[in-house]
Amino acid sequence: MHLGLIGYGNIARTLMGVLARENAAISRVSVVSLPEFADATRTALAQDFAGESAVYTDSAPLIQARPDLVVECAGHAAVQAHATAVLRAGIEVLIVSIGALADAALLDAVERAAAEGGTRITLPAGAIGGVDILSALRPSGIESVTYSGRKPPMAWSGTPAEDLLDLPALTREAVFFTGNARDAATQYPKNANVAATLALAGLGFEATQVRLIADPEVTRNIHEYTVRAGAANYTIRIEGNPSPDNPKTSVTTVYSVARAVLNRTRKVAI
Ligand SMILES: NC(=O)c1ccc[n+]([C@@H]2O[C@H](COP(=O)([O-])OP(=O)(O)OC[C@H]3O[C@@H](n4cnc5c(N)ncnc54)[C@H](O)[C@@H]3O)[C@@H](O)[C@H]2O)c1
Protein backbone atom coordinates (compact mmCIF):
# COMPACT_ATOMS: atom_id res chain seq x y z
CA MET A 1 0.00 0.00 0.00
CA HIS A 2 1.15 3.53 -0.81
CA LEU A 3 0.23 5.66 2.23
CA GLY A 4 -0.15 9.43 2.03
CA LEU A 5 0.06 11.56 5.17
CA ILE A 6 -0.81 15.22 5.64
CA GLY A 7 1.19 16.32 8.69
CA TYR A 8 4.07 14.49 10.30
CA GLY A 9 3.71 15.26 14.00
CA ASN A 10 2.78 13.18 17.03
CA ILE A 11 -0.03 11.10 15.45
CA ALA A 12 1.81 10.42 12.17
CA ARG A 13 5.11 9.42 13.77
CA THR A 14 3.46 7.22 16.39
CA LEU A 15 1.32 5.70 13.62
CA MET A 16 4.41 4.79 11.60
CA GLY A 17 5.80 3.02 14.71
CA VAL A 18 2.58 1.02 15.20
CA LEU A 19 2.44 0.07 11.50
CA ALA A 20 6.07 -1.12 11.61
CA ARG A 21 5.43 -3.22 14.75
CA GLU A 22 2.35 -4.73 13.09
CA ASN A 23 4.31 -5.54 9.89
CA ALA A 24 1.81 -3.57 7.83
CA ALA A 25 2.25 -4.02 4.09
CA ILE A 26 3.26 -0.41 3.38
CA SER A 27 5.54 -0.11 0.35
CA ARG A 28 5.71 3.66 0.04
CA VAL A 29 4.95 6.76 2.16
CA SER A 30 4.32 10.28 0.82
CA VAL A 31 3.98 13.18 3.26
CA VAL A 32 2.75 16.77 2.96
CA SER A 33 4.56 18.98 5.47
CA LEU A 34 4.56 22.70 6.15
CA PRO A 35 7.49 24.20 4.15
CA GLU A 36 9.34 25.31 7.29
CA PHE A 37 9.34 21.73 8.64
CA ALA A 38 10.08 19.89 5.37
CA ASP A 39 13.75 19.14 6.16
CA ALA A 40 12.97 18.00 9.71
CA THR A 41 10.14 15.84 8.31
CA ARG A 42 12.53 14.20 5.79
CA THR A 43 14.92 13.34 8.60
CA ALA A 44 12.15 11.99 10.85
CA LEU A 45 10.54 9.96 8.05
CA ALA A 46 13.89 8.41 7.10
CA GLN A 47 14.27 7.31 10.75
CA ASP A 48 10.75 5.87 10.90
CA PHE A 49 10.42 4.17 7.51
CA ALA A 50 13.02 2.28 5.47
CA GLY A 51 11.00 2.02 2.22
CA GLU A 52 10.48 4.50 -0.60
CA SER A 53 9.32 7.90 0.68
CA ALA A 54 8.86 11.53 -0.33
CA VAL A 55 8.09 14.79 1.46
CA TYR A 56 6.17 17.54 -0.33
CA THR A 57 5.03 20.98 0.75
CA ASP A 58 1.73 20.99 -1.13
CA SER A 59 -1.01 18.55 -2.03
CA ALA A 60 -0.49 18.82 -5.86
CA PRO A 61 2.64 16.59 -5.97
CA LEU A 62 1.04 14.27 -3.41
CA ILE A 63 -1.92 13.82 -5.78
CA GLN A 64 0.47 13.16 -8.69
CA ALA A 65 2.16 10.45 -6.63
CA ARG A 66 -1.29 8.69 -6.39
CA PRO A 67 -1.28 7.24 -2.87
CA ASP A 68 -3.95 4.61 -2.15
CA LEU A 69 -5.13 6.48 0.94
CA VAL A 70 -4.32 9.88 2.44
CA VAL A 71 -4.46 10.28 6.22
CA GLU A 72 -4.89 13.87 7.40
CA CYS A 73 -3.30 14.25 10.83
CA ALA A 74 -2.28 17.91 10.79
CA GLY A 75 -5.14 20.01 12.18
CA HIS A 76 -8.23 21.88 11.07
CA ALA A 77 -6.39 24.30 8.76
CA ALA A 78 -4.88 21.39 6.84
CA VAL A 79 -8.33 19.88 6.23
CA GLN A 80 -9.38 23.26 4.89
CA ALA A 81 -6.24 23.56 2.71
CA HIS A 82 -5.87 20.07 1.21
CA ALA A 83 -8.84 17.71 1.63
CA THR A 84 -11.02 18.88 -1.27
CA ALA A 85 -8.20 18.75 -3.85
CA VAL A 86 -7.16 15.23 -2.84
CA LEU A 87 -10.76 13.97 -2.83
CA ARG A 88 -11.57 15.60 -6.16
CA ALA A 89 -8.59 13.69 -7.61
CA GLY A 90 -10.32 10.45 -6.59
CA ILE A 91 -8.11 9.61 -3.59
CA GLU A 92 -9.77 8.52 -0.34
CA VAL A 93 -9.02 10.77 2.64
CA LEU A 94 -9.17 9.68 6.26
CA ILE A 95 -9.77 12.86 8.28
CA VAL A 96 -8.47 12.78 11.85
CA SER A 97 -9.18 16.45 12.62
CA ILE A 98 -12.92 15.74 12.52
CA GLY A 99 -13.77 18.90 14.46
CA ALA A 100 -13.04 20.85 11.27
CA LEU A 101 -16.27 19.39 9.87
CA ALA A 102 -18.32 21.39 12.40
CA ASP A 103 -17.93 24.08 9.72
CA ALA A 104 -21.02 23.23 7.63
CA ALA A 105 -19.55 24.83 4.48
CA LEU A 106 -16.38 22.73 4.73
CA LEU A 107 -18.37 19.54 5.34
CA ASP A 108 -20.45 20.30 2.27
CA ALA A 109 -17.30 21.07 0.21
CA VAL A 110 -15.51 17.82 1.11
CA GLU A 111 -18.66 15.77 0.48
CA ARG A 112 -19.07 17.35 -2.96
CA ALA A 113 -15.36 16.85 -3.73
CA ALA A 114 -15.62 13.15 -2.81
CA ALA A 115 -18.67 12.78 -5.05
CA GLU A 116 -16.84 14.49 -7.94
CA GLY A 117 -13.78 12.28 -7.44
CA GLY A 118 -15.82 9.09 -7.06
CA THR A 119 -14.19 8.38 -3.72
CA ARG A 120 -15.06 8.75 -0.03
CA ILE A 121 -14.11 10.37 3.24
CA THR A 122 -13.43 8.05 6.17
CA LEU A 123 -13.83 9.30 9.74
CA PRO A 124 -12.07 7.16 12.36
CA ALA A 125 -13.42 6.76 15.90
CA GLY A 126 -10.32 8.69 17.01
CA ALA A 127 -10.01 9.20 20.75
CA ILE A 128 -13.25 7.37 21.55
CA GLY A 129 -14.92 4.05 20.81
CA GLY A 130 -18.42 2.76 20.27
CA VAL A 131 -18.91 4.85 17.15
CA ASP A 132 -19.80 1.68 15.23
CA ILE A 133 -22.90 1.04 17.33
CA LEU A 134 -23.88 4.72 17.41
CA SER A 135 -23.73 4.94 13.62
CA ALA A 136 -25.45 1.54 13.27
CA LEU A 137 -28.33 2.54 15.57
CA ARG A 138 -29.16 5.66 13.58
CA PRO A 139 -31.83 3.98 11.43
CA SER A 140 -33.46 2.66 14.63
CA GLY A 141 -34.08 6.25 15.73
CA ILE A 142 -31.70 7.98 18.16
CA GLU A 143 -33.38 9.91 20.98
CA SER A 144 -30.35 11.44 22.69
CA VAL A 145 -26.54 11.51 22.77
CA THR A 146 -24.97 13.10 25.84
CA TYR A 147 -21.18 13.43 26.01
CA SER A 148 -18.85 14.53 28.84
CA GLY A 149 -15.21 15.35 28.17
CA ARG A 150 -13.18 15.37 31.40
CA LYS A 151 -9.50 16.29 31.43
CA PRO A 152 -6.92 17.45 33.98
CA PRO A 153 -7.19 21.24 34.43
CA MET A 154 -3.97 22.10 32.58
CA ALA A 155 -5.11 20.07 29.54
CA TRP A 156 -7.61 22.92 29.03
CA SER A 157 -4.91 25.61 28.96
CA GLY A 158 -4.95 27.64 25.77
CA THR A 159 -8.76 27.36 25.54
CA PRO A 160 -11.52 29.78 26.70
CA ALA A 161 -11.74 27.67 29.91
CA GLU A 162 -8.70 29.69 31.02
CA ASP A 163 -10.86 32.83 31.19
CA LEU A 164 -13.66 31.06 33.08
CA LEU A 165 -11.60 29.17 35.67
CA ASP A 166 -8.36 29.53 37.61
CA LEU A 167 -7.11 26.23 36.16
CA PRO A 168 -3.92 25.75 38.25
CA ALA A 169 -5.84 26.50 41.49
CA LEU A 170 -8.78 24.10 40.94
CA THR A 171 -9.31 21.70 43.85
CA ARG A 172 -12.52 20.04 42.59
CA GLU A 173 -14.18 19.35 39.25
CA ALA A 174 -15.64 22.30 37.36
CA VAL A 175 -18.10 22.04 34.47
CA PHE A 176 -17.25 25.05 32.33
CA PHE A 177 -19.25 24.28 29.16
CA THR A 178 -22.76 22.88 28.69
CA GLY A 179 -24.30 23.13 25.24
CA ASN A 180 -24.59 21.45 21.88
CA ALA A 181 -21.80 19.94 19.76
CA ARG A 182 -21.84 22.86 17.28
CA ASP A 183 -21.11 25.42 20.03
CA ALA A 184 -18.58 23.09 21.71
CA ALA A 185 -16.71 22.64 18.44
CA THR A 186 -16.80 26.36 17.64
CA GLN A 187 -15.76 27.60 21.09
CA TYR A 188 -13.24 24.81 21.82
CA PRO A 189 -11.85 23.92 18.37
CA LYS A 190 -8.75 22.21 19.78
CA ASN A 191 -11.03 19.81 21.68
CA ALA A 192 -13.79 19.57 19.08
CA ASN A 193 -12.90 16.23 17.54
CA VAL A 194 -14.82 13.91 19.85
CA ALA A 195 -17.97 16.06 19.98
CA ALA A 196 -17.90 16.34 16.18
CA THR A 197 -17.37 12.58 15.73
CA LEU A 198 -20.39 11.81 17.92
CA ALA A 199 -22.47 14.45 16.16
CA LEU A 200 -21.64 13.10 12.69
CA ALA A 201 -22.23 9.46 13.71
CA GLY A 202 -25.46 10.15 15.58
CA LEU A 203 -27.85 13.04 16.03
CA GLY A 204 -26.03 15.91 14.33
CA PHE A 205 -24.32 18.99 15.74
CA GLU A 206 -27.41 20.76 17.10
CA ALA A 207 -28.96 17.85 19.03
CA THR A 208 -25.79 16.27 20.49
CA GLN A 209 -25.35 17.49 24.08
CA VAL A 210 -21.86 18.22 25.42
CA ARG A 211 -20.37 18.95 28.85
CA LEU A 212 -16.70 19.88 29.24
CA ILE A 213 -15.09 19.42 32.65
CA ALA A 214 -11.76 20.36 34.23
CA ASP A 215 -11.04 17.84 36.99
CA PRO A 216 -7.93 17.88 39.23
CA GLU A 217 -8.75 14.31 40.34
CA VAL A 218 -7.96 12.78 36.92
CA THR A 219 -4.70 12.22 35.07
CA ARG A 220 -6.18 10.84 31.84
CA ASN A 221 -8.50 12.25 29.17
CA ILE A 222 -11.88 10.75 30.09
CA HIS A 223 -14.57 10.54 27.44
CA GLU A 224 -17.99 9.32 28.59
CA TYR A 225 -21.21 9.29 26.62
CA THR A 226 -24.71 7.88 26.82
CA VAL A 227 -26.89 7.00 23.85
CA ARG A 228 -30.63 6.36 23.94
CA ALA A 229 -31.95 4.84 20.73
CA GLY A 230 -34.83 2.73 19.46
CA ALA A 231 -32.79 -0.50 19.32
CA ALA A 232 -30.60 -0.04 22.43
CA ASN A 233 -29.32 2.25 25.13
CA TYR A 234 -25.64 2.30 26.06
CA THR A 235 -23.06 4.20 28.06
CA ILE A 236 -19.35 4.05 27.32
CA ARG A 237 -16.43 5.48 29.27
CA ILE A 238 -12.92 5.64 27.87
CA GLU A 239 -9.95 6.66 30.02
CA GLY A 240 -7.41 7.51 27.37
CA ASN A 241 -3.73 7.97 28.13
CA PRO A 242 -2.40 11.25 26.75
CA SER A 243 0.23 10.92 23.98
CA PRO A 244 3.71 11.41 25.45
CA ASP A 245 4.56 13.87 22.66
CA ASN A 246 1.24 15.79 22.71
CA PRO A 247 -0.85 15.50 25.92
CA LYS A 248 -3.84 17.07 24.14
CA THR A 249 -4.07 14.00 21.90
CA SER A 250 -5.26 10.73 23.48
CA VAL A 251 -2.98 7.97 22.26
CA THR A 252 -6.09 5.86 21.43
CA THR A 253 -6.46 8.16 18.41
CA VAL A 254 -3.27 6.74 16.89
CA TYR A 255 -4.47 3.15 17.36
CA SER A 256 -7.80 4.01 15.77
CA VAL A 257 -6.02 5.41 12.69
CA ALA A 258 -3.65 2.41 12.61
CA ARG A 259 -6.68 0.09 12.64
CA ALA A 260 -8.13 1.86 9.61
CA VAL A 261 -4.83 1.53 7.70
CA LEU A 262 -4.26 -2.10 8.77
CA ASN A 263 -7.80 -3.03 7.74
CA ARG A 264 -6.89 -1.94 4.22
CA THR A 265 -3.75 -4.08 4.14
CA ARG A 266 -5.19 -7.34 5.54
CA LYS A 267 -7.57 -9.96 4.26
CA VAL A 268 -9.89 -9.69 7.27
CA ALA A 269 -11.05 -6.19 8.15
CA ILE A 270 -12.38 -5.79 11.70
N1 LIG B 1 -10.37 12.51 16.01
C2 LIG B 1 -9.84 12.61 17.23
O3 LIG B 1 -10.37 12.06 18.20
C4 LIG B 1 -8.57 13.40 17.42
C5 LIG B 1 -7.86 13.26 18.62
C6 LIG B 1 -6.68 13.98 18.76
C7 LIG B 1 -6.22 14.83 17.76
N8 LIG B 1 -6.94 14.96 16.62
C9 LIG B 1 -6.49 15.87 15.54
O10 LIG B 1 -5.25 15.43 15.03
C11 LIG B 1 -4.43 16.57 14.73
C12 LIG B 1 -2.97 16.17 14.84
O13 LIG B 1 -2.65 15.76 16.17
P14 LIG B 1 -1.13 15.56 16.62
O15 LIG B 1 -1.17 15.14 18.05
O16 LIG B 1 -0.40 14.74 15.63
O17 LIG B 1 -0.61 17.08 16.53
P18 LIG B 1 0.90 17.60 16.28
O19 LIG B 1 0.86 19.07 16.54
O20 LIG B 1 1.88 16.76 17.05
O21 LIG B 1 1.19 17.33 14.71
C22 LIG B 1 0.55 18.03 13.68
C23 LIG B 1 1.57 18.16 12.54
O24 LIG B 1 0.92 18.68 11.39
C25 LIG B 1 1.74 19.69 10.80
N26 LIG B 1 0.89 20.62 10.06
C27 LIG B 1 0.10 21.60 10.55
N28 LIG B 1 -0.56 22.23 9.55
C29 LIG B 1 -0.18 21.62 8.41
C30 LIG B 1 -0.52 21.79 7.04
N31 LIG B 1 -1.37 22.75 6.64
N32 LIG B 1 0.05 20.97 6.12
C33 LIG B 1 0.90 19.99 6.49
N34 LIG B 1 1.28 19.78 7.78
C35 LIG B 1 0.74 20.59 8.72
C36 LIG B 1 2.48 20.32 11.96
O37 LIG B 1 3.68 20.92 11.50
C38 LIG B 1 2.74 19.10 12.86
O39 LIG B 1 3.94 18.46 12.52
C40 LIG B 1 -4.86 17.63 15.77
O41 LIG B 1 -4.70 18.91 15.25
C42 LIG B 1 -6.31 17.29 16.04
O43 LIG B 1 -7.18 18.14 15.31
C44 LIG B 1 -8.09 14.24 16.42
Cβ-contact 112, 243 below 8 angstroms: no
82 is catalytic: no
**Distance between CA atoms of 49 and 178, rounded to whole angstroms?**
44
Q: Domain 131-247 carries which CATH code? A: 3.30.360.10
The residue contributing the CA closest to ligand 1 atom 8 is 97
Task: Give the three-state DSSP class for 213.
Answer: strand
Confirm or reject: Cβ of 123 under 6 Å from ligand 1: no
- pLDDT for 93-124, tens place per residue? 999 999 999 999 999 999 999 999 999 999 99
Nearest CA among 3, 6, 190, 4 for reference residue 82: 6
CATH topology of domain 2-123: Rossmann fold (3.40.50)
Whether 96 is in the pocket of ligand 1, judged by its Cβ within 6 Å, is yes
Alpha helices in 76-170 (DSSP H): 76-88, 104-117, 131-137, 161-164
Name which residue sits closest to atom 7 of ligand 1, judged by CA: 249
Average pLDDT of the segment spanning 162-188: 96
- What is the pLDDT confidence band of residue 247, given thresholds at 50, 70 and 90? confident
- Please tell me the distance from the alpha carbon of residue 197 to that of residue 255, in angstroms, as a whole number: 16
What proportion of the chain, given as a percentage, has pLDDT over 90?
94
Decide: 77 in ligand 1 pocket, CB within 6 A.
yes
The domain segmentation of the chain, as residue ranges, is 2-123, 131-247
Q: At residue 250, what are phi and psi to the nearest 5 degrees?
A: -70, 135
The residue whose CB lies within 8 Å of the most ligand 1 atoms, and thus the one to mutate among 15, 18, 73, is 73
Best mutation site among 93, 193, 241 for ligand 1, i.e. most ligand atoms within 8 A of its Cβ?
193
Least confident of 42-56, 139-153, 246-260: 246-260
pLDDT tens profile 185-210: 999 988 889 999 999 999 999 999 99
pLDDT (tens digit per residue) in 21-68 = 999 999 999 999 999 999 999 999 999 999 999 999 999 999 999 999
Mean pLDDT of the chain: 96
Q: Which atom of ligand 1 is nearest to the CA of 190?
A: 43
Contacts with 201 (C-beta within 8 Å, 6 or more apart), sequence order: 123, 131, 134, 135, 138
81 Cα nearest atom in ligand 1: 31
Distance CA(78)–CA(56), nearest Å, equals 14
